[in-house]
A and B are shown apart, each in its own frame.
Chain A
Amino acid sequence: MSPLEFFFKNRTEILTLTGEHVWLVGVSMLLAAAVGLPLGMLLTRWPVGRRPILGAANVIQTVPSLALFGFLLPMPWLGARADRLAITALTLYALLPIIRNTYAGITGVDPAVREAARGMGMTDRQLLFHVELPLAWGVILAGVRVATVISVGIATIAAAIGAGGLGEFIFRGLAMVNNQLILAGAIPAALLALAADFVLGRLEGRLRVRA
């Protein structure tokens, strides 16, 4: 059976698992952005928190993904459902690039622009929302993009704890020494990553402001 025939024969399952994969990544990206963006903004106003928060996000990122899933397993509420656990792990992984880029995007705004804004009597909130954030979106989105692409890859490991996604095929293929099965998981995952990269890259390009 050629790989194409194999794909066609298993198209329903491939689509289902791709759907699960997109769900895992999508939800965790939304959560990571909901946590990471405010944290990144906070750090620009609260220098004391910078080292501990960036440090913590950094440490999380260095934990091997399989181990992180394992660590979260015994947690009371999280361990109860596999998808809950997988989304938590993916969210934690995505935090660092999002926090870091939000912080870098805002602090990277031309100091002259910031000085002019303050000098003309903008409040700190106005400065943040009308000037700094609009100018930082490009950099922030680059962080979201990196996080998304990483997550699409890491989400394949979620299958190891039974959370579904395209990793199902990969683990099954590994167990059965069946390359076609592995490819049935790996190829759609790679395409997903490329698609996410492309779409977010386009959006990033549109949001970047010419200086």
Chain B
Amino acid sequence: MTPDAPVIEFRAVSFELPSGPPLLSGVNLGIHRGETLVLLGRSGSGKTTALKLINRLLEPTAGSVQVEGRATQEWDPIVLRRRIGYVIQEVGLFPHFSVERNVGLVPWLERRPAAQVRARVRKLLELVGLDPDGFAARYPHQLSGGQRQRVGVARALAADPPLLLMDEPFGALDPITRVEMQREFRALQERLRKTVVFVTHDLSEALRLATRIALLEAGRLAGVYSPAEFLAAAEPAAAAYVAAFRPETNASQP
């Protein structure tokens, strides 16, 4: 693999369920090391499907998804997933584990020494803005929505994966917490420089976080833009998105 080859590459990827229309068709997309690529699109546009193809929760029905130069089907799925952090909107914290065990689970499964895992957990909790002394022993039901998602991010980073997949991670948070989390995510990403694929339907979130924005429309890739390009894009789907999010157009509607 050459240094500037994409870390993740979609090659003519299609995905469809046995019954029903294709969820993704003919997607070509390269994602580079250290960038935050935002997959933007409406509900049902195939964003989440595309994300799950990367960590092989789904497998393409045509084409291939290459991760670090190898098709996902050639990877041992367990090895592949441990190299890829995964954060979802519902967080999916393990309710029967303390925050500490939630975050330390993957290192623990990989049989790292307990002291090392504990130190790593503390460091990660600090990284996501949670005081380890106050939070390590708590259980998920004792946390607020924002705190849960912070733990979710810490857990995804636990094994220090080079790749991070985030599926509307801030979608369930109130607007103020959401903006706060976005800001912290940016700061975190400046430091960590992970390769991030971030799914959202929220244009302002995409503009705030993205290195590049890939717009999906009904399972097809409508275009890939820098945030500045996106705002000026002539492509109809992108233009429609921008128009829908422009405050004055919203206000002018009855």
Which A residues lie at the B interface, using CB under 8 A?
Answer: 110, 112-123, 126, 130-131, 134-135, 209-211
Contact = CB atoms under 8 A, between A and B. Distances in A.
A134 B102 CA distance: 14
B96 A209 contact: yes
A122 B79 CA distance: 10
A121 B85 CA distance: 9
B94 A113 contact: yes
A100 to B, nearest CB: 22
Contacts of B80: 121
Given A209-B95, A210-B95, A211-B95, A123 B78 contact: yes
Contact of A210 (B57, B88, B141): B141
Contact of B95 (A113, A119, A126): A113
B139 A210 contact: yes
A120 B79 contact: no
A209 B141 CA distance: 10
Contacts of A134: 96
Contacts of B55: 119
B99 to A, nearest CB: 14
Nearest to B106: A120
A135 B80 CA distance: 26
Interface string B154-165: 011000000001
Interface of B: 55, 57, 77-82, 84-86, 88, 90-96, 105-106, 109, 139, 141, 152, 155-156, 165
B106 A117 contact: no
B81 A112 contact: no
Question: In terms of DSSP, what is the predominant structure of the interface of chain A?
Answer: helix
Given A113-B92, A131-B96, 8 more contacts: A112-B92, A119-B55, A119-B81, A120-B82, A120-B106, A121-B77, A121-B82, A122-B78
Which of A112, A120, A210, A211 is the most central at the interface, judged by chain B CB atoms within 10 Å of its CB?
A120
A120 B96 contact: no
A117 B154 CA distance: 14
Nearest to A211: B95
B231 to A, nearest CB: 33
Nearest to A113: B92
Given A110-B92, A135-B96, A120 B57 contact: no
A122 B77 CA distance: 9
12 contacts: A112-B92, A113-B92, A113-B93, A113-B95, A116-B92, A117-B94, A120-B85, A121-B78, A121-B109, A130-B105, A134-B96, A211-B141
Nearest to A135: B96
B81 A118 contact: yes
A112 B105 contact: no
A116 B81 contact: no
A210 B86 CA distance: 24
Minimum-distance CB pairs A-B, first 6: A116-B92, A121-B81, A112-B90, A119-B86, A121-B82, A112-B92
Contacts of A113: 92-95
B94 A131 contact: yes
A5 B74 CA distance: 79
